[in-house]
A = this chain, B = another copy of it.
Amino acid sequence: MDSATCLAIARQRHPPVHALTVLYGQRHDREVRAARRLARHFGVLEHTLLRLPLRGLLRSSLTDPSRRLPQGGRSGRRIPSTYVPARNTLLLALALGYAESHGLRHLYLGANAIDYSGYPDCRPEFLRAFERLAMRATRAGTERGVRFRVEAPLLRLSKAQIVRWGDRLGVPWALTWSCYAGGARPCGMCDSCRLRARGFRIARRIDPTVG
């Protein structure tokens, strides 16, 4: 739901949109199907799917089928086991290379508040540090002074606010997928399913993927 809403916002603010879907060793590719349909729905100019063989390289419960996924809500104290080392650094590096190759400047990322309470690479300080790096990392930045921007419009929003904003922009929730597990239907038990359910409940909307 975050990526889908983020895409809808990018399409409104900086069209045309190029979309990048990265598989970095997640347990399933249910999200890929969702991304393909959403890209088509929102008419993205180019949708690139990258399958990176990183399962053994980046250790996380999100990429290791032998580890249990956390359930029962986040404590807000510790970084959850679903943290993937340097994940957003890697995603932004790919987006930066793509953007420079295609003459683009705005990198949209669906990072959001609920996550940044846990994941370090969803925090505003991280995103600003990446913008500073991007200026020095690229030919565009060093030769022409291009300032790449990391746009994270959902950063400080609750899930309920995301549901409301997505609704206004016509996000087709039925095409989205949030569950960390890879079943035919969302498991309803993992952190991601719980946060999503709570968002819809507080926003007083029906989630078409449930029930």
Binding site for B on A (CB under 8 A): 48, 50-54, 56-59, 78-79, 83-90, 92-94, 96-98, 100-102, 120-121, 123, 125-126, 129-130, 132-134, 136-139, 141-143
User: Looking at the complex, which one of B79, B90, B93, B138 makes contact with A120 (CB distance below 8 Å)?
Assistant: B138
A191 to chain B, nearest CB (A): 16
Q: Given A136-B129, A143-B79, decide whether A89 and B97 contact each other with a Cβ distance below 8 A.
A: yes
**Alpha-carbon gap, A102 to B97, bound state (A):** 26
Question: A143's closest neighbor in chain B, by CB?
Answer: B79
Contact of A87 among B54, B87, B97 (CB under 8 A): B97
Contacts of A90 in B (CB 8 A): 90, 93-94, 97
Give bound CA distance, A22 to B87, whole Å. 17
